[in-house]
Structure 1
Amino acid sequence: MSIFVCLLPMLDAEKSAQFREEHLAHLDRQRSLGRIIANGRFADGWGGMVIYKAESLGEVKAWAENDPYVIKKARTYDIHEWDMVSEHFKLG
């Protein structure tokens, strides 16, 4: 099992707002299948990020390509395998 970071840069803020609920439902389905470690949007409006666990880059690419944000061209995606140093961290 590997960890992959899927960046979702903004293409169209209006479409992003329009399809947000569909995107979140997609992520909820992925989470219920145990595929998502974390997700969220960037505070500066750049877009968002999803951290997946998967067997291959191909799996994550298929999941990203089925995200309503990507299908509706609200966002694009860029995936990178991530060698996470620690699974435990504290904020502040």
Structure 2
Amino acid sequence: MSKHFAAILKMKNPEINAKYRPAHLEYLQELEQEGKIFAKGPFIDGTGGMVIYIAESIEEAKELAEKDPYIIEGVRTLELHEWGI
């Protein structure tokens, strides 16, 4: 049974955030088409954003989150939690 996992992506390097934003959004769009995203969006205060993944386990969610270009390139930090809905 699928579960939901909240990935909190806190801004780490605002200087290069814009450079990797298109790749980040493209990656999330691909996952959305695969049914792996429940919700996503930026924090209004500019400190980062959140993605809620749909996965079978925290390991799967972590794997998905760590493939995000923002994480690969060190633009944002990752905090992952199982989320109750």
TM-score normalised over the length of structure 2: 0.95
| Structure with max Cα Rg | 1
- The residue correspondences of 1:3-82 to structure 2 (distance < 5 A) are 3-82=4-83
RMSD between superposed Cα atoms in Å = 0.7
Contact 1:5 1:49 in 2 (8 A): yes
Superposed CA offset, 1:15-63 (max 9, x none): 1111000000000111011000110000101100001111000111111
User: Between the two proteins, what is the percent identity of the paired residues?
Assistant: 45
TM-score normalised over the length of structure 1: 0.88
Instruction: Report the Cα offset of residue 71 of structure 1.
Output: 0.6
- List alignment gaps of at least 5 residues for structure 2: none
Distance (whole Å) between structure 2 residues aligned to residue 50 and residue 66 of structure 1: 13
Pick the structure with more strand per residue.
2
- List alignment gaps of at least 5 residues for structure 1: 85-92
Task: Flag as ranges the 4+ runs of structure 1 deviating above 4 A.
Answer: none
Pick the structure with more helix per residue.
2
Equivalenced residue count is 84
Distance (whole Å) between structure 2 residues aligned to residue 8 and residue 15 of structure 1: 14
Instruction: Report the Cα offset of residue 83 of structure 1.
Output: 1.1
Instruction: Report the Cα offset of residue 76 of structure 1.
Output: 1.1
